[in-house]
Amino acid sequence: MLKIENLHVEVDGKEIIRGLDLEVPKGEVHAIMGPNGAGKSTLSYTLAGRDGYTVTDGKVTFQGRDLLDREPEERAADGLFLGFQYPVEIPGVATLTFLKTAVNAVRRQRGEEEYDAMQFMKLVRGKAKDLNISDEMLKRPVNVGFSGGEKKRNEILQMAVLDPAFCLLDETDSGLDIDALKVVADGVNALRGPERGMLIITHYQRLLDHIIPDRVHILAEGRIVESGDKNLALELEKKGYASFGTDRAA
Amino acid sequence: MDSTAEILLERFSGDADTDRTAARDRFRDAGLPTPKQEAWKFTNLRPLTQFLDARTEPANDSTPAIPDTLVDGAHRVVIIDGRIDGDLSDAGIDGLSLDQGGTLQADMGGRRAVRDLSIAMADDGLRITLDANAAPSQALELVFIGTGSRSGGHHFTLEIALGSNSALTVVEHHLGSNAYAATLATDVRLADGARLRHVKLQDESIEAFHLSDCAVEIGRDASHERFVLSVGSRLARDEVHVALNGQGSSVRLLGAYAGRGQQHLDHTTHIDHAVPNTSSHEVYKGVLDDRSRGVFQGGIRVMKDAQKTAGHQLNKALLLSRQAEIDSKPALEIYADDVVCSHGATAGEIDEDALFYLRARGIDAQAAKSLLVQAFLDEVFDDIADEGLRERLKDRVHGALQVEGAAHG
Ligand SMILES: Nc1ncnc2c1ncn2[C@@H]1O[C@H](COP(=O)(O)OP(=O)(O)OP(=O)(O)O)[C@@H](O)[C@H]1O
Ligand SMILES: [Mg+2]
């Protein structure tokens, strides 16, 4: 469903992703682990289409179609969702307004009918409740004054409401307390299905206790240096990154 | 004597009114201000000259469309090309008297070119007086329409005098089509305990000039709230001078503007805290696109005796294009020692992180931009108590910016 071949990405003239290959078939959940600065967030921003992330070589196909020539909003409409490592605060834009604008923008691009206020509220209330997000939070400006954990839950709420075909989660577990981790993991697991793919970036095995991955990849110095099943994460926890060839030529 | 002054003289030779004569003389002696003068450093009126010449052929001849009122149920006075149209006006509000004509006192101390020009050349005027203790529930709406069918510009004088402990909402709606110059001089006098809400929508034709000078005197425990939204005109200046003359008096000046194309939008304010225990609060926010230019000049002066003054001023501009520009000049003169005054000015671009976040959620670049622009401006509108009015003004500014966006592709 998502296929990355020999991807090279530069940021500010510096090569960060250096020949990365990865394939996530539909119905599977893959995890990426890797040391700080390895290029995990760079990969997610590149996939989501952020300006300033220049692809100098390689190819990415999403659902059989070239992803890289699509605008960020088109990628979202195609069903790619990025849960941000650092969700952005947007003063002055109420969370509800934002969610409604987003969900209807996506529906419009997909040729589906837009939700009216009633349908939308029903959808959001249900999902928000599952994620312990209060009405009061929904009225606040997007992520403004949200705690770290609340921001991450808000990402999962957006994901649930947008109902994407593919979820790319960049350290959604960072900053979550144990209960919130469970809530978020449940939110993610609820979306797991035979038609959906997921790529989960994390530093911690504990998230993978809740969301059991089909494959685990280690990303270091801009490429995948090791892939395996869920046991790779356990092994990593014990041995650290050093044993996985991260000291390969820079 | 410059050419504009000559034109003026020709038009009004033989006028007996002393205030008008005084204004005319002052204007004749000084001519149109130039950027050499400190108060006009950022705004050049030279292109205005031809529009003030009554000898030029009018650009066209059109019948104006009268817009709906901005406030539901407002009574209104319609002023077309500087003249009150009695047939279109309906202003029967209890306790309120309206007198046509009249003029204003020209000399306010210091040089006030727009004021002199309006008074000297006024085609018509309106005096609004509200009885003490009256507080009509209906708003009074003044609709100024420019049609471009009269050369020489349209000039009007307005006087608003509120009796003690009275309260009134006055709305100004300026609009039009084609090219013309419109000037307006306004005097506002609030007696003790009076409250005036003044809302102005400057939505003139994009080919027009709009120049207004408003002088406000606020008595003891009286309060004034003024909101201006500027979206129209090729060149506009909205100048307000407030004198907080009574203890316990307060003023709130709020402004929003949206410039595009080659528009030049100038907001100039001056607040005098003359006595103890007065407060002023000022927020202006503007969005500038294309090659448009914004000017904000904000003077606050706290006199020696004006202890316990609170004065806050904030001016923020959002620049949507590299060619857009804002000139911001706050000027605080404080002669008292027990005061709390602050001012801040910022100019920035759209937050790229926020823009990407919105786009990553499926909102296209244009819609995302306009969402962020709305968020930036909306706060200024919160003060407008009348919900219908608030929403109409918001729609107007967002509409103006959206049309612009569509043109960008
Ligand atoms: N604008 C930039 N200019 C130069 N280098 C950059 C820029 N942005 C990111 N980098 C570098 O790219 C590398 C990869 O960063 P990235 O954020 O992708 O790492 P990461 O794997 O997500 O790390 P973490 O686990 O800390 O989130 C880092 O060394 C970072 O300093
Ligand atoms: Mg990262």
Domain ranges of chain B: 3-246, 350-409
More confident residue, B298 or B63: B298
Distance CA A184, CA A166 (A): 16
- What band does B15 get if pLDDT is binned at 50, 70 and 90? low
Closest listed residue to residue B405, CA positions, set B341, B308, B320: B320
What confidence score (pLDDT) does residue A33 get?
95
Tokens at A11, concatenated: 């940021």
What residue type is B71 in one-letter code? V
What confidence score (pLDDT) does residue A248 get?
46
Q: Is the pLDDT confidence value at B381 over 50?
A: yes
What confidence score (pLDDT) does residue B62 get?
67
* pTM of the complete model: 0.86
DSSP letter at B164 equals T
Model confidence over B102-113: pLDDT tens digits? 778 766 666 788
What average pLDDT does this structure show over B131-157? Answer: 93
The ipTM value here is 0.95
Closest listed residue to residue A224, CA positions, set A47, A15, A39, A1: A39
Question: pLDDT per position in chain A (250 positions), as tens?
Answer: 999 999 999 999 999 999 999 999 999 999 999 999 999 999 999 999 999 999 999 999 999 999 999 999 999 999 999 999 999 999 999 999 999 999 999 999 999 999 999 999 999 999 999 888 999 999 999 999 999 889 999 999 999 999 999 999 999 988 888 888 998 899 899 999 999 999 999 998 889 999 999 999 999 999 999 999 999 998 888 888 887 765 543 3
* Side-chain-facing half-sphere of B199: CA atoms under 13 Å: 25
Tokens at B110, concatenated: 């210091």
Contacts of B250 (CB under 8 A, 6+ apart): B218, B223, B224, B244, B278, B279, B280, B281
Contact status of A49 with chain B (Cβ, < 8 Å)? yes
Contacts of B362 in chain A (CB under 8 A): 73, 76-77, 102-103, 105-106, 109, 162
For B141, other C-beta atoms within 10 Å of its C-beta total 24
> What is the three-class DSSP state of A182?
helix
Most confident of A164-178, A180-194, B62-76, B183-197: B183-197
Q: Considering only alpha carbons, which residue of chain A is nearest residue B359? A: A73
Residue in B361, B369, B370 to test binding to A, most A beta-carbons within 10 Å: B361
CA-based R_g, chain B, Å: 21
Contacts of B355 (CB under 8 A, 6+ apart): B365, B368, B369, B372
For A65, other C-beta atoms within 10 Å of its C-beta total 10
Closest listed residue to residue A75, CA positions, set A47, A99, A94: A47
Average per-residue pLDDT for chain B:
90
What confidence score (pLDDT) does residue B6 get?
60
What average pLDDT does this structure show over B139-155? Answer: 91
Does the domain at residues A2-249 carry the CATH identifier 1.10.3720.10? no
What confidence score (pLDDT) does residue B5 get?
54
- What band does B56 get if pLDDT is binned at 50, 70 and 90? low
Pocket perturbation via mutation, ligand 1, pick of A7, A8, A11 by most ligand atoms within 8 A of CB: A11
Distance CA A222, CA A11 (A): 12
Does the beta carbon of A39 sit less than 6 angstroms from any atom of ligand 1?
yes
Strands of the A80-83 sheet, one edge to the other: A80-83, A166-170, A197-201, A29-33, A215-220, A223-228
